[in-house]
């Protein structure tokens, strides 16, 4: 049992992160190691990662990779068996992985086709005697990798494509077909064509041996137009090969017993201290539930619903601390919200891991009012920290939180508040429910205890990935 996996992605913790994709790609190797699967991770050597190359060994060269020469370096770095693709003409730039000073990099199609090309070649040929059984590609950035295996030879390697978010599809101009080394005869709706153009995600979806996404509910939602975002037909056609496997979280990093004021489900005193510290830091004083938001500020996350619902919540005794960054209009709206409720609503614009831990430790509830959510990690941090999730009934949120109802409260199963649909009316009702549940200290304490025992680690999901790999490599 077991074997080798080449995992290819554009981000992985602890090296580069813009969202949950990085958490998951960074966590999978350790999660799968226990099941006998050795995983190597291939990332682009962005400018910020180039210093790592000094301690790594060159193992691969590409003479001509979309406009320049490239090398791959290998090493064990910070616990990860890491491959870095050093292609300075594509990645040695000031800016983010996908964007520069004026928006998306103009050559993102080539940048990530290059990553996928090298992944497929190394998988097919083996690198330094190491040949994987499985190539595991993540999201649109690696979507061409299964296609290159399919069209240029797989060498016995099977491919898995994981969709972390179908909203990002890797659109490219159809005229790039031959530049991107894709066969022109595959330009048809059943193949690579996508509304007259190309989509690297679609290319992966039609060519991968198996497709996974990050929760069972999202796997079903993706077959429907409201969630499939144009790819629902492709998903439905591949239904037999689609599997929803819930993400886990790293329970050593997300551990209330390891916070500065440690606590557990049995001894919650440390959480009260953390709450007081959080309130002091943000200058808020909240008699009712202290809610938190830790999120990208985007339309997906339903952040725009807060201005319509938080004033009533504050009037009922609640408070809110927001940590996030993203859409400037939403940042602005959050600033206005905080200014309108001094002492009750506070905001930190930016990305800050340490601060996010303080919010989860000190908050009473975490709000995740997403319009769609493939999996979502923050509601799971909330469960683990007894910071009860208030979530919309979609994707992985629906799969991880047991909403409070008379029946779930009576049986002691409730771990949070689940509302539907994602609109201000339903969120407002959910916040009223939060105020009422929080006021019942006994019930609240019971919910916290139940939430904190809910398994959010990788065990079950690692076993599901291992079974998938095993099935493919037989």
Note the residues at the interface with ligand ADP (CB under 6 A): 19-21, 23, 294-296, 323-325, 351-353, 356, 375-378
Minimum CB separation from ligand ADP for residue 251, in Å? 13
Residue 353 or 440 having the CB closest to ligand GLC: 353
Q: Does 398 bind ligand GLC (CB under 6 A)?
A: no
Q: Which one of ligand GLC, ligand ADP, none interacts with residue 353, CB within 5 to 8 A by kind?
A: ligand ADP
CB of residue 19 vs ligand GLC: minimum separation in angstroms?
4
- Partner from ligand GLC, ligand ADP, none binding residue 319, C-beta < 5-8 Å depending on class: none
β pairing state of 134-138 and 319-326 = unpaired
Q: Using the rule CB under 6 A, is 132 a contact of ligand GLC?
A: no
| Min CB(378)–ligand GLC separation in Å | 9
Copy the structure tokens of residue 26.
């960074």
Q: Under rule CB under 6 A, which residues in 24-43 are in contact with ligand GLC? A: 24
Show contacts with ligand GLC in window 196-215 (CB under 6 A). 214
Q: Which does 415 bind (CB under 5 to 8 A by kind): ligand ADP, ligand GLC, none?
A: none
Q: What is the SS3 assignment for 86?
A: strand
Q: Which is nearer to ligand GLC, 159 or 162 (CB)?
A: 162
Q: Which residue, 110, 102, 99, 116, is CA-closest to 66?
A: 110
Nearer to ligand GLC, 296 or 449 (CB): 296
CA 336, CA 112: separation in Å to the nearest integer?
Answer: 38
Shortest Cβ distance from residue 471 to ligand GLC (Å)? Answer: 22
Tokens of 437: 């549940």
Least distance in angstroms from the C-beta of 142 to ligand GLC = 13
62 close to 125: Cβ distance less than 8 angstroms: no
Q: Which is nearer to ligand ADP, 244 or 324 (CB)?
A: 324
Return the residue of 345, 375, 466, 468 that touches ligand GLC, per CB under 6 A: 375
Query: Minimum Å distance from CB 165 to ligand GLC?
Result: 4
Q: CA–CA separation, 207 vs 406, rounded Å?
A: 47
Per CB under 6 A, 376 contacts ligand GLC: yes
- Residue 214: which of ligand ADP, ligand GLC, none does it interact with, CB under 5 to 8 A by kind? ligand GLC
Tokens linked to 127: 């690198």
- Which residue minimizes CB distance to ligand ADP? 20
Q: Which of ligand GLC, ligand ADP, none does residue 352 bind to, with CB < 5 to 8 Å depending on kind?
A: ligand ADP
**How many other C-beta atoms can be found within 10 angstroms of the C-beta atom of residue 152?**
15
- Is 262 among the residues that bind ligand GLC (CB under 6 A)? no
Instruction: Choose from ligand GLC, ligand ADP, none: what does 203 bind? Cβ within 5-8 Å by kind.
Output: none
How many residues touch ligand GLC under the rule CB under 6 A: the total is 14
Residues near ligand GLC (CB under 6 A): 19-21, 24, 164-165, 214, 247, 373-377, 396
């Amino acid at each position: 049992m077991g074997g080798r996996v080449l995992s290819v992605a554009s981000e992985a913790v602890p090296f580069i992160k813009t969202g949950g994709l990085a958490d998951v790609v960074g966590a999978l190797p350790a999660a799968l190691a226990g099941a006998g699967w050795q995983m190597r991770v291939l990332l682009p050597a962005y400018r910020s990662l180039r210093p790592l190359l000094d301690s790594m060994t060159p193992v691969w060269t590409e003479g001509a990779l979309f406009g320049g020469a490239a090398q791959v370096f290998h090493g064990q770095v910070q616990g990860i068996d890491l491959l870095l693709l050093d292609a300075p003409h594509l990645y040695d730039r000031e800016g983010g992985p996908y964007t520069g000073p004026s928006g998306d990099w103009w050559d993102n199609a080539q940048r990530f086709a290059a990553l996928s090309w090298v992944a497929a070649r190394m998988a097919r040929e083996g690198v330094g005697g190491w040949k994987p059984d499985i190539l595991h590609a993540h999201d649109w950035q690696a979507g061409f990798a299964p296609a290159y295996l399919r069209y240029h030879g797989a060498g016995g390697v099977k491919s898995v494509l994981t969709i972390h978010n179908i909203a990002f599809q890797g659109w490219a101009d159809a005229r790039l077909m031959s530049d991107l080394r894709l066969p022109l005869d595959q330009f048809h709706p059943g193949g690579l064509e996508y509304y007259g153009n190309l989509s690297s995600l679609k290319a992966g979806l039609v060519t991968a041996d198996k497709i996974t996404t990050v929760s069972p509910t999202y796997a079903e939602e993706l077959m429907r137009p409201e969630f499939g975002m144009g790819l629902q037909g492709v998903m439905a056609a591949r239904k037999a090969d689609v599997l929803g496997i819930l993400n886990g979280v790293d329970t050593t990093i997300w551990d209330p017993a390891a916070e500065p004021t440690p606590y557990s489900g049995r001894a919650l005193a440390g959480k009260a201290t953390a709450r007081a510290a959080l309130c002091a830091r943000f200058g808020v004083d909240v008699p009712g539930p202290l809610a938190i938001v830790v999120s990208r500020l985007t339309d997906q996350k339903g952040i725009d619903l807060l201005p319509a619902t938080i004033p009533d919540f504050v009037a009922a005794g609640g408070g809110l601390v927001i940590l996030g960054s993203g859409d400037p209009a939403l940042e602005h709206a959050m600033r206005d919200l905080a200014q309108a409720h001094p002492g009750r609503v506070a905001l930190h614009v930016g990305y800050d891991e340490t601060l996010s831990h303080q919010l989860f430790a000190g908050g009473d509830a975490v709000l995740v009012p997403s319009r769609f959510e493939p999996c979502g990690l923050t509601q799971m941090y909330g469960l683990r920290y007894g910071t009860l999730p208030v979530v919309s009934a979609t994707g992985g949120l629906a799969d991880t939180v047991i909403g409070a109802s008379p029946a779930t409260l009576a049986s002691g199963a409730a771990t949070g508040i689940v509302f539907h649909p994602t609109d201000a009316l339903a969120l407002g009702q959910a916040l009223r429910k939060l105020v009422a549940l929080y006021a019942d200290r006994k019930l609240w304490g019971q919910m916290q205890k139940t939430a904190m025992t809910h398994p959010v680690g990788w065990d079950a999901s690692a076993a599901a990935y291992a079974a998938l790999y095993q099935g493919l490599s037989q």
